[in-house]
Amino acid sequence: MTSPLLNKTLLGKKAWITGASSGIGEATARRLAAAGMNLVLSARRVDRLEALATELKATGVEVVLEPVDVSDRAAMAAVGERLAAQGGVDLLVNNAGTMPISPILSGRVDEWEQMIDVNIKGVLYAIHAVYSGMVERKQGHIVNISSVAARITFQSAGVYAGTKHAVRAISDTLRKEAIRYGVRVTDIQPGSVATELPDSIKHDKIRNAVKDNLYADPSLLLQPEDIAEAIFYAVSQPAHVDVSELLIRPQSMED
């Protein structure tokens, strides 16, 4: 019997997901595999990718692993070349990100650069790796995961919010450029999600405050599966439907 989760729009197509070893990326891989998509999974933690690949292959989809640091320009270009040689991808889910937030006065410049390298440059490197192929084929979909911080700012999150504002601007500009080529672009803007992202905060006081307050009760947060479902909604629409942005907040929180 055919699974009711299989989707005719996505069945047999190929998606490349960055940051696929946990959280939103991992949940999205499961959701798209359930819809019948073949997958290319990228992250730095190879052991987690291998475990996820074993799980998903058992469902009947093809899974290729491309372990990579998205901030490595040459490595990302090499992934793009390999994907092009295999016929390209139909969907990019640009999910990899980091959030070592801190007050500007703390001057943690290395962490600022890390956020810029991963959250902005990594997004651009992934787009560059697949976009020209999508244009040539006159079809494709790019989903960028930004944040509610793409719209509002928070104390101690100035650089992080800046990177997410940049992703939103890049997404909207790319959408306007891509329309003529039949390529769609979606910017997903989650609020607080129960993921490992707070673990990337190196400033002890800020990390403890985030975990003790914002993340104190995970049941009040969005779950990775909630965002995966939103991504599925956006990418499973008919070709004439363009879901440009989705802002998703926990119901219990103002921001």
**Distance from chain centroid for Cα 251:** 22
160 part of the active site: yes
Q: In the structure encoding, which two tokens stand for residue 214, read together? A: 């914002």
Sign of CA dihedral 121, 78, 67, 58: positive
CA–CA separation, 13 vs 236, rounded Å? 11
CA–CA separation, 123 vs 116, rounded Å? 10
Q: Which residues of 15-32 are buried (b: 16+ CB within 10 A; e: fewer)?
A: bbbbbbbbbbbbbbbbbb
Active-site residue identified among 125, 160, 181, 215: 160
Sheet holding 63-65, edge to edge: 63-65, 38-41, 14-17, 91-94, 140-145, 183-190, 245-248
* Residue 190 bridge partners (DSSP): 248
Q: In the structure encoding, which two tokens stand for residue 234, read together? A: 């956006």
> CA nearest 221: which of 190, 180, 244?
190
Q: So which residues are the catalytic ones? A: 160
